[in-house]
Amino acid sequence: MAITIPILILAIPLFMFFFLGLFGMKMSHKLAGTLGTLGMGSVLVLSYFTAFQYFFSGLDIFVNEAGDRLQYLVFDQTWLQFTEKLVIKLGFLLDPISAMMLVVITTISFMVHLYSMGYMRDHHGVFEHGFQRFYAFLSLFSFSMLGLVVAPNIFQMYIFWELVGASSYLLIGFYYKKPSAVSASKKAFIVTRFADLGFLIGILTLSWYTGTFNFTELTSVPVEGLAGVTQVNIGTAESIRNIFATSAAPTFMGASVLTWALVLIFMGGMGKSAMMPLHIWLPDAMEGPTPVSALIHAATMVVAGVYLVARLFPLYLMEDSAMIIITVVGALTAFYAAMVACVQVDIKRVLAFSTISQIAFMMVSLGVARPEYHEGLGYMASMFHLFTHAMFKALLFLGAGALIHAIGSNDYTAMHGLRKSMPITHITFLIGCLAIAGIIPFSGFFSKDEILSSCGQYDILVYLWMSLVAGLTAFYMFRLYYLIFWWKEHVTPEGHHAPHDQPWTMTLPLVILAAISCVAGFIPFGNLVTWNGEPYDFMAHFDWSVASISLLVAICGIALATVMYRKENELPAKMRRALPALWTWCYHRFYWDELYQFITHKIIFGLISKPLAWFDRHIIDGTMDSFATLTNKASEAIKPLQSGQIQMYVFYYLIGALLLGGITILCLI
Amino acid sequence: MEITAVYYLIPALIMFCCGVYGFITRKNMIAMLVSLELMLNAVDINFVVFNRFLFPEQMEGMFFALFAIAIAAAETALAIAIIINIFRAAKNIDVRSLNEMKF
């Protein structure tokens, strides 16, 4: 496989970032947007070509005789060499999940580029201030995300991990004149940075013991006779575990060091993927422009944590406790986010919590995946859900963006009854809702069903819990849908345009994504993406009993939402009065933000920072200041001696001379 | 009564002390300059006296005194010029009030 295409996949977005960033202001808004979109379009074509080659060309570097998919290191360039062993490389690893992620990222990114051409202007077609900057940042984000998923070593992943964090910060704070956007961007950056501290410690622990950063050396064995080709093998992970077990210090505080390393790495993933308790940044990140929310905070960046766990999946298999932590964190987060999503009134907040909940689904799916259950079905289901979720959640966000653009508000109390005035948005949004709720034959049905059946094989409790969450998902999505498009007839406020469908740049991505959401479920994902590359026919594992139960649960959720929200009625208000405590807690997101506020302001600032600041200001600075004051006082005291009056000097001189003379005389006598 | 060197040196000493006293106490720059001249002249007397009484066959002391007088004249001219300029700038030649450039 030629090396040019992978390099171009990374180089084009980077070039577009510098080009639009440096010269964007010199060109017209339209040209900048078109160039950015075209650049992303070419990356899209190249990525599709690469993924197609990888999955379907059947070359011996991509697939062996048994049909197992291999990992192929396209290039691996030494970037920083600190010592003989500590080398940081930049490379491009092609394997099932990175090829799949290339497709996901470039598809969503291209849709968002196209969509933003329509979204980032007002009703009169005037482009927003900073339009070129927006496209430059989008390109930077695409570059970082692509670099992250193709990273062949964990350090490159960490570098790009921080880069996506930085570009997310820049894009959330795009409306930098709005204080809430600025504080949201800072919150996102600080919370994820805090999580990345754990990630870094995890990386260092892992590589200190194993002596390598490379994923292939951690999880795979080289294939004979082919340079740069490796195959995932559980034996490598076992030997890594033995390295830890036979090392000088195999345990730390009651858990094995490998568990610590894996859990700390997972902590980085928790931060990026907004798992409880590090989820607080994601709802606030909705302050950014809606296309950014679709690209970064729904489809690509937030699944980086899932991707990270999937990358190191064979190692996670070695430590059951780490897997249980992933499952528990995922299950709790999924339920929590679904509960909160049921009562929010901001359309983007509902989608944000829904994203958290769905990513938690993927996490649970990885946590319950074991090779012995249906050949690691959970892993495949997680990646499948990642793929389908990216498509339908981007669709929902872009649809929400179209609504916000038409109405001019995030609050859906201003939006009722839009089904007639915005038909395309209505239909595509409905498809997105059906997909996320898990209705056959939309894509979410297949992926969620596989997640549930792998949960069922792991533990019946996890299965019931996640089914409940799936029901809640259907309920809150259809609550959102009915409140926007039904409930009561729309009344256009005085002085506003009547809402209508948006220009083609905005509706085309909706239609394409809706089409993908309709058919993506039929992709034979088991043939393409599995934890060890070994393909299997997942329809053989398709369990109709699980499927029909989850379908029933979803239909119950939808039916409840239909009863409550289809026509304006008193039922929701009655429910709210019946369970006031539950409603208040959900509405305030279980007071997580307040808890953080309390911990940071009252405990950290009040009890630690303030005394430290006092010590610094009064003891350390005080010592230094008193030196200065002393010197100052002393010089003030002797300053009058230096009067500038020559007669005084002469007088002193005279007295001195007389004294010396007197002393001399006395000595001589 | 023989006139010895001491007869010359004591008036010179008195002159010198007067000069020092005047230089220290007077605040008027002209008066300070006059006191300075007084000290110089006292020193000149000493030169001449020591030359006359200690090395009568040599003339260095005399010449030194002559040089000192010439240099004192030049120095006085210079000092007067400075004082006139100060007076033009500050309308005053009292040394206590000339402290504009002090710290």
**Model confidence pLDDT, tens digit, residues A522-543:** 888 878 888 877 777 766 666 7
Is A501 in contact with A424 (CB distance < 8 Å)?
yes
Residues of B in contact with A654 (CB under 8 A): 20, 24
How many helices and strands, by DSSP H and E, does chain B display?
Answer: 3, 0
Strand partners for A253: none
Q: Summarize the confidence of residues B13-39 as an average pLDDT.
A: 92
Q: Determine the distance in angstroms separating the CA of A602 from the nearest CA of chain B, rounded to an integer.
A: 51
Structure confidence at residue A657 (pLDDT): 94
Residues in Cβ contact with A656 at an 8 Å cutoff, skipping those fewer than 6 apart: none
Which three-class secondary structure state does DSSP give residue A65?
coil
Residues of B in contact with A643 (CB under 8 A): 102
Write the ipTM. Answer: 0.84
User: Rounded to whole angstroms, how far apart are CA atoms A112 and A95?
Assistant: 26
And the tokens for A643? 């009067």
User: Rounded to whole angstroms, how far apart are CA atoms A533 and A62?
Assistant: 10
**Model confidence pLDDT, tens digit, residues A107-122:** 999 999 999 888 888 7
Structure confidence at residue A563 (pLDDT): 83
Which helix (H) or strand (E) element contains residue A87? strand A87-94
Label residue A1 by pLDDT band (50, 70, 90).
low
Structure confidence at residue A233 (pLDDT): 84
Which of A125-139, A143-157, A233-247 ranks highest by mean pLDDT? A143-157
DSSP A355-372: HHHHHHHHHHHHHH--TT
Mean pLDDT for all residues in chain A: 87
Q: Determine the distance in angstroms separating the CA of A654 from the nearest CA of chain B, rounded to an integer.
A: 9
Q: Using alpha carbons only, what angle is made at residue A649 by residues A648 and A654, rounded to the nearest 5 degrees?
A: 100
Q: Using alpha carbons only, what angle is made at residue B101 by residues B100 and B103, rounded to the nearest 5 degrees?
A: 110
Structure confidence at residue A539 (pLDDT): 66
**Model confidence pLDDT, tens digit, residues A399-437:** 888 888 887 777 766 777 787 788 888 889 999 999 988
What are the sequence ranges of the domains in chain B? 27-95
Are B103 and A645 within 8 A, CB to CB? no
Label residue A495 by pLDDT band (50, 70, 90).
low
Please list, residue by residue across A252-268, b when 16 or more beta carbons sit within 10 angstroms of its beta carbon and e when fewer do.
eeeebbbbbbbbbbbbb
Which of A403, A453, A408 has the alpha carbon at shortest distance from A425? A403
Give CA separation, A449 vs A132, A333, A452, A559, in Å.
42, 19, 5, 19
Which helix (H) or strand (E) element contains residue A93? strand A87-94
Residues of B in contact with A645 (CB under 8 A): 95-96
Q: Determine the distance in angstroms separating the CA of B16 from the nearest CA of chain A, rounded to an integer.
A: 13
Q: Which residue is closest to B95 within chain A, CA to CA?
A: A645
Kindly report whether the peptide bond that precedes residue A423 is cis, defined as omega within 30 degrees of 0: no
DSSP A474-513: HHHHHHHHHHHHSBS---PPTT-PPP-PPPHHHHHHHHHH
Strand partners for A346: A411
Q: How many CB pairs under 8 A join A and B?
A: 21
**Model confidence pLDDT, tens digit, residues A278-326:** 888 888 888 888 899 888 888 889 999 999 999 999 889 888 888 999 9
Q: Summarize the confidence of residues A217-246 as an average pLDDT.
A: 85
Are B24 and A645 within 8 A, CB to CB? no
Residues of B in contact with A646 (CB under 8 A): 95
**Model confidence pLDDT, tens digit, residues A67-96:** 788 888 888 888 888 888 788 888 899 888
Structure confidence at residue A614 (pLDDT): 93
Which helix (H) or strand (E) element contains residue A115? helix A96-119
Class of the CATH domain delimited by B27-95: mainly alpha
Residues of B in contact with A651 (CB under 8 A): 24
Sheet with A71-81: list strands edge to edge: A87-94, A71-81, A229-232, A220-222
Amino acid found at A365: S
Label residue A493 by pLDDT band (50, 70, 90).
low
Mapped to the 3 state alphabet, what secondary structure does A424-471 carry?
HHHHHHHHHHHHHHCCCCCHHHHHHHHHHHHHHHHCHHHHHHHHHHHH
Please check the confidence at residue A582 and state whether its pLDDT lies above 70: yes
Please check the confidence at residue A665 and state whether its pLDDT lies above 90: yes
**Model confidence pLDDT, tens digit, residues A167-209:** 999 999 888 888 989 999 999 999 999 999 999 999 998 888 8
Please list, residue by residue across B69-85, b when 16 or more beta carbons sit within 10 angstroms of its beta carbon and e when fewer do.
eeebeeeeeebeeebee
Are A646 and B102 within 8 A, CB to CB? no
Please check the confidence at residue A245 and state whether its pLDDT lies above 90: no
User: Rounded to whole angstroms, how far apart are CA atoms A499 and A403?
Assistant: 8
